[in-house]
Amino acid sequence: MAIAFTFPGQGSQSIGMGKDLADAFPQAAQVFAEVDDALGEKLSDIMWNGPEETLTLTANAQPALMAVSIAALRVLQAEGLDLKSKVAYVAGHSLGEYSALCAAGTFSLADTARLLRIRGNAMQAAVPVGMGAMAAIIGLEQPGVEAICLEASALGACQIANDNGGGQLVISGEKSAVEKAAALATDKGAKRAILLPVSAPFHSTLMAPAADAMRAALENVEKRDPVVPLIANVRAAPVSDAGEIAALLVEQVTGQVRWRETVEWFAANGVTTLYEIGSGKVLTGLARRIDKSVNGIAVNSPADIEAALQTLIG
């Protein structure tokens, strides 16, 4: 009957996110103020007032999503939640891994915001606009998509970026190769193959310059072992050593987010409830599709927090 906290990734952002938390709870308002100070700009103003295209920029969306997650967490903690005694594991989807590590004490809030700003800028700068692409493949399982990527890689880099479970995989790489893979997927029985409106080919080998940038950034930041183990994206297994975690975060930039395997690991190791802390409900929906024995609960509003506290603390 163990509990894990999960933290959402890019795509869960929306204008106004976190504003109800900031209005209702001083602890949440303090998080947004700390993130603004760390970045030297009013990111909270972009989050709450837009414009949407500015919030969607990778360098803004990543720290913004983290801020909402930590704001919700800080409120839970202010109301009596002790992460170490109540939560067995943390995990996050892509950038959400940084939110999870901030929650578990590996990075300070200010350092997490700055790391994600560096990460967002580096990922955007790694590949010239228009050279890379990503596509969602719906209705094929991992072995079939791996075969398609291998065939399409004759045209350039092409690999699985995210295995989200439930027959939903995201591929990433050079534009011509990804387009070829999407066409092959349809031929081989995929229900849909959709090119995604993203600004760069995330989690592909083309992100190598961004991985180098993150290696340097992570070497120069204070790190502590997390108070509860992290289920790492690229390993789908628990890690508790801060140095090892930093190496895996570098690997994650060009590696696969193994979310299906992460949820399966939870199910196989006694985790019955995943609380998704932060904006949206994407991970909650994925959990249901991957393993129905795992109950997903989204926590991102004052009402959600109140309901979660009744279960977590009583």
Q: Using CA atoms, how far apart are residues 65 and 99, in angstroms rounded to an integer?
A: 8
Compute CA distances 66 → 63, 152, 305, whole Å.
Answer: 5, 35, 17
Q: Using CA atoms, how far apart are residues 212 and 26, in angstroms rounded to an integer?
A: 38
Can 94 be counted among the known catalytic residues? Answer: yes
Residue with token string 């072995």: 143
Residue 5's DSSP bridge partners are 90, 275
Can 203 be counted among the known catalytic residues? Answer: yes
Closest C-alpha among 29, 79, 63, 6 to residue 313 = 79
Select which of 44, 99, 172, 203 is catalytic: 203
Select which of 12, 69, 94, 99 is catalytic: 94
Q: Using CA atoms, how far apart are residues 19 and 32, in angstroms rounded to an integer?
A: 10
Q: Using CA atoms, how far apart are residues 248 and 22, in angstroms rounded to an integer?
A: 33
Q: Using CA atoms, how far apart are residues 36 and 108, in angstroms rounded to an integer?
A: 14
Active-site amino acid positions: 94, 203
